[in-house]
């Protein structure tokens, strides 16, 4: 009689995922009984689940724990990314409360979808098996498709959801086909076993190479790397502003976690084959993102192309594939979450009901009408530009230093030059806020915003200032969370 082996299951290792899932289900159930007004309590319930999940996640910092027959690993690398995603979703919930009320979409399923995206991101950060990673990616993607089109009365939102769904499904097909080829070439789905088989030459080289290339294409789409970035500007512009803010930080962090874990654990022996592709991707992505951002007159589209450029900066660290490079990626993603969501939060206040005011001209004179709001936005965009002593400067410094230490001198030089180019379109917005006459968004930009939004902005300002002035503790945590290639 055959013995059936029951895999080891550690519920404590997935306690944060269980917490977020149960909170999302509870939100869906309470939505049925919620009154038409005063639904802010659903947002606060979501925040409670996020804070509890964050507490449980911090308790998992330490030695790695492998569970579910080695398909899921809880290590400092995954934990760092999970904390970034919790920060992103927490700030998004805070900035969503007033926005959803103003736009008539204040319902429990919105917050539930945000939590399901986060759960999918958790699986992408800790997955040690191709099937686990794919499950996490699809959980994240399907919920994001819904969120992108959540304001159903806006044609742009519907269009964003449809475009994202079609192109996202295409990239998932590339990823799944690539995984199938890797499995066919190695006979394994666990990342560690794939890496071992490749290192010992026990593989079908053509199948593995083709599979790796297809997976690379799919992951390049998920991180919005050129030339797989086509969806980003339209989706960012059409999606609701809080969703756009979240997409630019939380899911992006999850995609980079997936990217690094796969290439660090499954394909390190093939580094000589893929580093040149990543080098080219990094250069083209940061250059195209910055150059096209120069011509934008819509702030959402400008931040979308800025997000593409920052994906190029992050690919520098992945290309270097060293302890310093990976640590710099983690550190920069933390900083990027603060400054990008902070920038989108201010834009959502100015944009007003229905997002009518999102052009550069609409921000004219904001520095005189709402000085604190304008100062907050200026701080975020200065940090995105990499101006000291804000956190963005420290993040870029460590990214480009890791490239220099790894011998990628020209990659660092191109990165610095691109960072200089980006200063123009970031400062262009500041010029409109402080040196132009009042724009058309007078009513929207003088409207009060909720205490929850104020908390989100305070968190963003704190992150940009605290990490910029005192980065040592955050950087030390990032250095303990790297994966070695």
Within a domain: 4: no
Tokens read off for 249: 């930080």
Q: Considering the entire predicted model, what is its pTM?
A: 0.93
Tokens read off for 52: 């509890």
- The pLDDT assigned to 440 comes to 53
Tokens read off for 252: 């992006």
CB 380 within 8 A of CB 387: no
Within a domain: 485: no
- The pLDDT assigned to 163 comes to 87
- The pLDDT assigned to 1 comes to 45
- The pLDDT assigned to 361 comes to 85
Within a domain: 397: yes
Run means of pLDDT, 10 residues per run, the chain, 485 residues: 64 90 91 63 89 93 83 91 94 88 78 94 92 93 89 80 88 92 90 89 85 93 87 86 90 93 89 89 94 90 91 92 89 94 90 79 84 90 90 92 91 92 90 75 56 91 92 88 74
CB 335 within 8 A of CB 383: yes
- The pLDDT assigned to 34 comes to 65
The structure tokens 């475009």 sit at 163
Within a domain: 6: no
Question: Rounded to 5 degrees, what are φ and ψ at 450?
Answer: -70, 160
Neighbours of 226 (CB within 10 A): 23
Within a domain: 3: no
Within a domain: 340: yes
CB 175 within 8 A of CB 247: no
Question: What domain range includes position 205?
Answer: 11-480
Within a domain: 427: yes
Rounded distance, CA 358 to CA 347, Å?
7
Rounded distance, CA 361 to CA 426, Å?
14
Within a domain: 34: yes
- In the chain, the number of structural domains is 1
């Amino acid at each position: 009689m055959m013995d059936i082996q029951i895999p080891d299951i550690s519920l404590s290792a997935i306690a944060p995922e269980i917490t977020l899932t149960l909170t999302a289900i509870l939100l869906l159930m309470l939505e049925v009984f919620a009154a038409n007004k005063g639904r802010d309590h659903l947002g606060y319930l979501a925040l409670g689940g996020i804070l509890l999940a964050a507490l449980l996640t911090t308790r998992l910092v330490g030695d790695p724990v492998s569970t579910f027959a080695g398909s899921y690993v809880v290590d400092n690398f995954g934990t760092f990314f999970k904390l970034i995603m919790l920060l992103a979703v927490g700030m998004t919930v805070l900035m969503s409360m007033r926005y959803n009320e103003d736009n008539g979409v204040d319902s429990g399923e919105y917050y539930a979808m945000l939590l399901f995206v986060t759960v999918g991101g958790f699986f992408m950060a800790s997955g040690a098996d191709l099937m686990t990673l794919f499950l996490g990616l699809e959980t994240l993607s399907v919920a994001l498709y819904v969120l992108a089109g959540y304001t159903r009365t806006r044609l742009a939102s519907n269009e964003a959801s449809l475009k994202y769904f079609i192109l996202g499904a295409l990239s998932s097909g590339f990823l799944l086909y690539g995984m199938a080829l890797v499995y066919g070439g190695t006979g394994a789905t666990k990342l560690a076993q794939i890496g071992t088989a490749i290192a010992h030459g026990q593989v079908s080289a053509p199948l593995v190479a083709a599979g790796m290339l297809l997976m690379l294409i799919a992951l390049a789409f998920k991180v919005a790397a050129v030339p797989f970035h086509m969806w980003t500007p339209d989706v960012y512009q059409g999606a609701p502003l809080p969703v756009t803010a979240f997409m630019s930080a939380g899911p992006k962090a999850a995609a980079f976690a997936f990217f690094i874990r796969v290439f660090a654990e499954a394909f390190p022996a093939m580094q000589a084959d893929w580093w040149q592709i990543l080098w080219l991707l990094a250069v083209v992505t940061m250059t195209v993102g910055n150059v096209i951002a120069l011509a934008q007159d819509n702030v959402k589209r400008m931040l979308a192309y800025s997000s593409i450029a920052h994906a190029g900066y992050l690919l520098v660290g992945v290309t270097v594939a060293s302890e310093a490079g990976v640590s710099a990626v983690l550190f920069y993603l933390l900083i990027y979450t603060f400054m990008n969501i902070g920038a989108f939060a201010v834009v959502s206040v100015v944009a007003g009901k229905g997002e009518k005011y999102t052009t550069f001209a609409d921000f004219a004179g904001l520095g005189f009408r709402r000085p604190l709001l304008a100062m907050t936005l200026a701080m975020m965009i200065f940090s995105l530009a990499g101006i000291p002593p804000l956190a963005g400067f420290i993040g870029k410094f460590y990214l480009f230093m890791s490239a220099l230490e790894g011998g990628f001198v020209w990659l660092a030089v191109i990165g610095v030059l691109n960072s200089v180019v980006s200063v123009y379109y970031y400062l262009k917005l500041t010029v409109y806020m402080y040196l132009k006459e009042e724009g058309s968004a007078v009513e929207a930009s003088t409207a009060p915003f909720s205490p929850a939004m104020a908390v989100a902005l305070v968190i963003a300002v704190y992150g940009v200032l605290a990490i910029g002035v005192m980065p040592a503790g955050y950087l030390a945590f990032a250095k303990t969370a790297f994966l070695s290639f």
